[in-house]
Amino acid sequence: MAALLQVSKLHAAYGPTRVLHGIDFSIEEGSITALLGANGAGKTTTLRALCAMVQTSGEVRFGGARIDGKATEDIVRLGIAHVPDGRGTFVNLSTEENLRLGAYVRKDRRAVEQDFERVYSYFPRLKERRHQQAGTLSGGEQQMLAVSRALMLRPRLLLLDEPSFGLAPLIVREIFDIMRAINQREKVSILLVEQNAAMALDLADHAYLIETGRVMLSGTSDEIKQDEAVRRSYLGY
């Protein structure tokens, strides 16, 4: 079976600073894949590179077709939703307007209205706060909003950048549980970038370990968990 996303020899740079040095990985349709690694390893840059938010070279295929070289807006239209680093909330707009923007490129108006209820069923707190200015939501609520905004696209692939960042453990658990539910119920494939390796490996089917812009290790989550070096450096036992 062909992979949903196939990345080969991906390089990326911010001006003269090269961050990714030719990484290869793939995501199976319907799976959850985690990118692990320390600060500055290039995890966030990898997600940005997939959405053409940095200069890149190399080949990215989504559902068989090449998407490298396309503009960010066009990549989104293919069904790749990106929950960016920092959540990307439109802070001066209401919760509901943020969600509506998530479905901006969709033409099926009636299904969009139903999808509001669908994401509210995952995150009932957002429904309570739907007329509230999004900038006034708590960090956890803004993360829920960011995930919900991405779901409003009805994506085939969801890119999640550090959904646990800066949140209380209880809320992180809630969000991770919902990720799993979304993956199973809606068959959305997920690419997850996480510093919290233990949680990410519990959730993911496959994982890649990135160090200084290169893939150092890949395998199923169970294989990665068994790895001596990963255990010592990233899992801490």
Question: What residues line the site for another protein (CB under 8 A)?
Answer: 51, 53, 71-73, 76-77, 81-82, 84, 88-93, 97, 100-102, 104-105, 149, 153
- Residue 76 or 167 having the CB closest to another protein: 76
58: left (phi over 0), alpha (psi -120 to 50) or beta: left
- Residue 51 or 192 having the CB closest to another protein: 51
CB of 109 to another protein, least distance (A): 10
What 3-state class would DSSP assign to 139? helix
- Residue 105 or 229 having the CB closest to another protein: 105
- Residue 73 or 202 having the CB closest to another protein: 73
Whether the Cβ atoms of residue 130 and residue 118 lie closer than 8 Å to each other:
no
- Best CA proximity match to 79, nearest among 43, 103, 96: 103
Those residues with Cβ within 8 angstroms of residue 151's Cβ, 6 or more apart along the chain or in another chain:
81, 102, 115, 118, 119, 122, 158, 182, 188
CB of 87 to another protein, least distance (A): 9
CB of 150 to another protein, least distance (A): 8
CB of 90 to another protein, least distance (A): 5
